[in-house]
A and B are shown apart, each in its own frame.
Chain A
Amino acid sequence: MTRYILIKILRSTFTLWIVVSAVFLILRASGDPLYSIFSLGTPESTLDVFRAKWGIDKSIFEQYVIYLSDITKGDFGTSFFDGQPAWDLVVERLPKTLLLGGTTFVISVVAGVTLGAIAALKRGTFWDRGIMTAAVASFSMPSYFLALLLILLFSLKLRWLPTSGASTWQHLILPATTLGLTLSGSIARFVRSAMLEVLRQSYMRTARAKGAPKWRQIVWHALPNAAIPTVTVIGFQLGWLIGGSVVIETVFAWPGAGRLFITAIGLRDFAVVQMFILMVASTVIIANLLVDILYGLLDPRISVIGVKK
């Protein structure tokens, strides 16, 4: 068991290394960033000073080795743009991103699981069709377009909610709703099919034959079984959520790490972009690890995590 987790962690670290390296190479191979930072006509001598200062006068390979060794020392590079450590820049934006992402995630899981379960229990009825149509519509909707529509309606026409910023809890409503609608739609769809699968199992009939009331059948017998496949899918959705929040933070001018990333790519700010990608990839990888462990906890048939008996 411990050995299995160790292997898993090693593998994850390796994956992370590949991601970081690939991104490093693609970005650094894309040309000299100084030309986009400094105006045309800046003397080469000035540029050389900066190249030497930021270490981009060396070959890509040398830069790569330096970058990796710096990372092991906890130095994630410095922003070309304002000279601050990339780590600080990203980390100071994290709380806002976590607030938006966390709120969205919790609301989506609760709404998605509830709606999916209702659709499955009311299979073939108006409720089922309604929820499923809404679910498909919710993830067919471009999230930025939904954001614009909500802004148009609730901010510009009705003037109920602010369009951008993050100073009050009202600011959270629109971005969280936008992201949450899409996420809960796909969760609801999955929960429905997982529930339908569970509901036709013989043990559900046993629960009825035992005299368990309806709510007990659902909460104690059906949901724990449906949770097993659902956890994996929800885990995978986390990556989607991070990607989506980059777009939504930009539309709502939400001062989170995603918006920082968009600004940074516009400025070709290597260190910040790389820091953000490293952060995102580690989050997703750690989340997948946790999902694996959770999976093992939820399904007693799996003795060693991830291995079916």
Chain B
Amino acid sequence: MSTQQTNTAAQSQDEPRIRRGRTGALLARWGLSGEWLVTAALIYIGFILFVAVFGFLFQPYPHTQMDLFNQLQPPVFMQGGSWEHIFGTDELGRDVLSRLIRGLRLSVLIGVIGTVIGAVLGSFLGIVAAHFRGWVEEVLMMLVDVQVSLPFIIFALAVLAFVGNSLTILIIVVGIDGWERYARLARSMVLTANQQDYVLAVRSLGLGNFRIYQRHVLPNIMGTLIVQATINLPGVILLESTLSFLGLGVQPPMTSLGQILGVGRDYLILAPWIAVLPGMVIFFLTLSIATVGDWLRDRLDPTLK
């Protein structure tokens, strides 16, 4: 009735046009006007990416360089701090800022690669299951059941402790996390897509399976999968940081944010900055990605739960 009509009419229209400067116009083009949290989150993510990629250029010291005369020196904004070590030093006199920059790089790297692995693996299995149906699908759904029945962090801890933890194994383990979500999503979307008229039509034209998936099915489900990946990314970053915090993730001399935190935990009273700074960086990073992920989902794919 009229209620619904005005409702849809309201949704189809954008915000009322108001005078905006150039920044405003840019924000509007990206659908960001009024979304201050999302804008701030995007800026923060951009900053983190920049530091992760180019941070080594500004890194004041090598992250492993010890200065045994300046152990546990507070950051510049605390009493006793100095500009020499802006964020202070740790228990071995290593520069915390330098370690943050290095740790951030590895955390972001593992998070992103891990997410890509999970997304590709899961989506591939999901598509395979939807394509072949029958026992292939049965086996896959059973694997999903298995994955769901064991909290992933427990599995990851056991594997890393027993099998050993090189960076490669860590990335693979972290990458496996969440594959079942993509698999389920891809499977159900491909099942739907395969029923669609245009897919049936191109199939009847004799187009090969690979071409059909590449040209017609994948482009249609890609958006949803990417949104799902954005939603999963914070979880992957948190998983890596937790594993490293517990000492089973990234191993010295390499460092990641979680690992710095794990070390800082022992100096919580004497030098809280060692733990608090990387924790804040992680928290704002996952918060920003989650905020952007929600925003993307609402904009691109409201069907996704």
**Does a CB–CB distance below 8 Å link A and B in the complex?**
yes
**A contacts, CB < 8 Å to B:** 11, 14-16, 18-19, 22-23, 26-27, 29-31, 133, 136-137, 139-145, 148-149, 151-152, 156, 193, 236, 239-240, 242-244, 246-247, 250-251, 261-262, 265-266, 268, 273, 276-277, 280-281, 284-285, 288
Cβ of B149 and Cβ of A288 under 8 Å apart? yes
- Chain A binding surface, main DSSP class: helix
Q: Which 4 A-B pairs have the closest CB atoms?
A: A243-B151, A265-B161, A145-B279, A140-B287
Minimum CB–CB distance from A218 to chain B (whole Å) comes to 21
Please determine whether A261 and B162 come into contact, CB atoms closer than 8 angstroms.
no
Chain A minimum-CB-distance residue to B262: A144
Does B154 contact A277, Cβ atoms closer than 8 Å?
yes
CB-defined interface of B266-288 with A at 8 Å, one 1/0 digit per residue?
A: 00110010011001001100110
B233 to chain A, nearest CB (A): 11
Q: Are B155 and A23 in contact (CB under 8 A)?
A: yes
Q: Are A273 and B158 in contact (CB under 8 A)?
A: yes
- Residue among A14, A23, A133 having the largest count of chain B Cβ atoms under 10 Å: A23
CB contact between B162 and one of A18, A193, A268 (< 8 Å): that residue: A268
Chain B, 246-298, CB within 8 A of any chain A CB: 246, 248, 258, 261, 265, 268-269, 272, 275-276, 279, 282-283, 286-287, 289-291, 294
B152 CB contact (under 8 Å) in A142, A243, A266: A243
Q: Give Cα A19–Cα B275 distance, bound, in whole angstroms.
A: 36
Task: Report the interface size for chain B: residues with CB under 8 A from the other chain.
Answer: 44
Q: B107: shortest Cβ distance to chain A, in Å?
A: 11
8 Å CB contact of B238 from A142, A148, A236, A273 = A142
Check B146–A242 contact: CB distance below 8 A. Answer: no
Contact of A15 among B142, B157, B265, B282 (CB under 8 A): B142
The answer to whether the Cβ of B242 comes within 8 Å of any Cβ in the partner chain is yes
Q: How far is the CB of B52 from chain A (nearest CB, A)?
A: 18
Whether A156 pairs with B268 at a CB distance below 8 angstroms is: yes
Question: Contact partner of A144 among B142, B151, B163, B245, CB < 8 A?
Answer: B245
